[in-house]
C-alpha cells in the first residue's frame, strides 16, 4: 500500500532515509531549508512541500532536524504539524533531543489527536544509504504497527523500548557510549603514532583485539567533523542534564564534552 509520507529535514541522514521511502514506492513529500536536497528528492520522484502542507496532506510525518528548538517549532509551532494537521496524523521524531523536549511534543501531539512516535536512529549517512540503520522506538501499539514497516525500509534493527520518551533516553545513553568510544580510539591512536607506529598498524591492533568496534573499524574512513561536533555537543549536554536530574554523575561524559574538538575524526 502506498503511504503518503512527509519528511521534514533532508540532511545527512534525512535525505537518504527519505530517498529509501521513495524507492520503496511511497509518496514522499519533503521539506528542508536548503534547495539542494529538495532538488535531489524531486529528481528521485518525491514532492517538495512545506511543513504545513505535509501536516494537511500526509498520513505519517517524519522529523529529522538538528536541535531541540527546531523539533519544537516543526511539531508544535504555528506553522508546524500539530497546528495544521488533522487528528490521526502520526508524527515520527528521528531527532535526538532531551527528554523534556520529547515530553513536550508528545503532549502537543496528543492535544491535537495525533500520535507521536519517539524514534531516534543510529547509523549515520552510511547506515541510511546501506539500509542498515538501527531504530529505537517508543510508541503505542497502533502507531508502532503503522511505522514499523516504514522503518524496515531503511533499518536492519528495530528495537521497541516502550512508551514515547523511552527511546530518547536510550539514544542519549547510546550517544554517551559512542562518543566515549571515539575518545578512547583517538587517544589510543595518538599514543601509538606518537611512539612511532604507523597509523594503519595501530588501527589493525585495535580491530584485531578486544578494542574492536565500529568506530575502530571505520577510523580514518568516516569523516564526521565538523558537522558532527555541534550535534555531539548537544547530545552530551542533554545527557549530562538528564544525569543531573537523576542525581548521578557522568565524569567521562563531561570529559568528552571538553575534548570534542580534538577527538571527532
Active site residues: 171
Q: Find residue 135's DSSP bridge partners.
A: 121, 158
**44 and 23 Cβ atoms separated by less than 8 Å:** yes
**105 and 76 Cβ atoms separated by less than 8 Å:** yes
Give CA separation, 136 vs 147, 165, 188, 227, in Å.
Answer: 12, 10, 30, 22
Provide the greatest CA pair distance for the chain.
63
Cell numbers found for residue 117: 512516535
Q: Which residues does 84 contact at the CB level (< 8 Å), separation at least 6?
A: 51, 52, 55, 56
Amino acid at each position: 500500500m502506498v503511504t503518503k509520507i512527509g519528511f521534514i529535514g533532508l540532511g545527512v541522514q534525512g535525505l537518504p532515509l527519505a530517498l529509501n521511502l521513495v524507492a520503496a514506492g511511497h509518496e514522499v513529500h519533503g521539506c528542508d531549508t536548503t534547495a539542494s536536497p529538495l532538488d535531489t528528492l524531486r529528481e528521485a520522484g518525491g514532492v517538495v512541500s512545506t511543513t504545513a502542507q505535509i501536516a494537511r496532506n500526509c498520513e505519517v510525518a517524519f522529523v529529522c532536524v538538528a536541535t531541540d528548538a527546531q523539533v519544537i517549532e516543526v511539531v508544535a509551532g504555528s506553522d508546524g504539524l500539530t497546528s495544521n494537521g488533522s487528528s490521526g496524523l502520526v508524527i515520527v521524531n528521528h531527532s535526538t533531543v532531551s527528554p523534556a523536549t520529547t515530553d513536550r511534543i508528545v503532549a502537543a501531539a496528543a492535544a491535537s489527536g495525533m500520535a507521536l512516535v519517539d524514534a531516534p536512529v543510529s547509523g549515520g549517512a552510511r547506515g541510511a544509504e546501506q539500509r542498515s540503520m538501527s531504530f529505537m522506538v517508543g510508541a503505542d501499539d497502533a502507531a508502532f504497527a503503522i511505522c514499523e514497516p516504514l522503518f524496515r525500509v531503511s533499518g536492519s534493527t528495530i528495537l521497541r523500548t516502550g512508551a514515547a520518551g523511552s527511546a530518547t533516553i536510550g539514544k542519549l545513553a547510546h550517544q554517551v557510549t559512542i562518543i566515549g568510544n571515539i575518545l578512547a580510539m583517538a587517544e589510543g591512536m595518538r599514543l601509538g603514532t606518537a611512539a612511532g607506529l604507523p597509523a594503519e598498524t595501530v588501527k589493525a591492533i585495535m580491530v584485531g583485539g578486544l578494542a574492536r568496534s565500529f568506530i575502530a573499524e571505520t577510523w580514518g574512513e568516516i569523516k564526521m567533523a565538523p558537522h558532527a561536533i555541534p550535534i555531539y555537543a548537544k547530545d552530551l549536554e542533554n545527557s549530562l542534564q538528564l544525569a543531573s536530574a537523576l542525581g548521578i554523575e557522568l565524569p567521562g561524559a563531561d570529559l568528552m564534552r571538553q575534548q570534542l574538538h580534538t577527538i571527532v575524526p
